[in-house]
Amino acid sequence: MKIISYNVNGIRAAIKKGFIEWLKNSNSDVICIQEIKANADQLDLSLFSEIGYKYNYWFSAQKKGYSGVAILSKHKPKHIEYGTGIDHMDFEGRNLRIDFEKISVMSLYLPSGTNIARLEYKFQYMKEFKDYVQKLKENIPNLVICGDYNICHEAIDIHDPIRNSKVSGFLPWEREWLTDFMNLGFIDSYRKLNKDPDRYSWWSYRANSRANNKGWRIDYNLVSNTLNSNIKSSSILDQIFHSDHCPIVVELNL
């Protein structure tokens, strides 16, 4: 199973930049999308079904043009879970999960801490989401959580760790939370197989950051420890340009 995670920063804008043609050629089984910034009724869903993604699920924020996640699949899941049942998370459309017989895949868009109020909300979300996943894993052990975590885990994951040490996304307690979250029983599939520095998944639109590769690795495909031996490959597709993020890939032998 080939799974891609991609924060498209607006699905309608990405489509205008060639997203559908790229997706057709990606040969992925499942793609988790974040920051869709649209409702399903604002999209031509036949664009996805015509290229093989007959099963596509959309979970939008209540606020128009904001946040939202989706999952597109070539295979029919046995169950679809919209949200977490935690009202404030679901209001912003940040979690969507599909279950197959052997594996469950979640699309996650964790909040960013763009100001003091949102940083406080981010910490609340992080705490409650960790508790939610801890309980979820009791019944769903084979879980892959794909998405934009808005956190760089280690110094290798950010272009300037010293200057950014006081910036949300690389704060010590955010990094500590991500460590604790993975200690629930998850593997960073990219770092399991790739130790090279200077590989990022997001670049600011400011100061020519992408051309200069001044990026952050804040997108992850976290794979349950129970699937450790099933991880075949993991990669960052940093030459794909529909968004300020790029797609990330994990392939599992199931």
Residues annotated as catalytic (active site), given as ranges: 148
- Give yes or no for a contact between 27 and 2, defined as CB atoms under 8 angstroms apart: yes
Both tokens of 158, joined, read 């950010």
- Give yes or no for a contact between 60 and 68, defined as CB atoms under 8 angstroms apart: yes
The distance in angstroms from the start CA to the end CA of the chain is 7
Enter the DSSP assignment of 9: S
Both tokens of 238, joined, read 């940093």
Map residue 129 onto helix, strand or coil: helix
Both tokens of 61, joined, read 């924020």
Residue with tokens 């300037």: 160
If we measure between CA atoms, which residue out of 251, 141, 144, 143 comes closest to residue 193? Answer: 251
- Give yes or no for a contact between 153 and 192, defined as CB atoms under 8 angstroms apart: no
Phi, psi of 43 (to 5 degrees): -120, 155
The CA distance from 193 to 136, in Å, is: 26
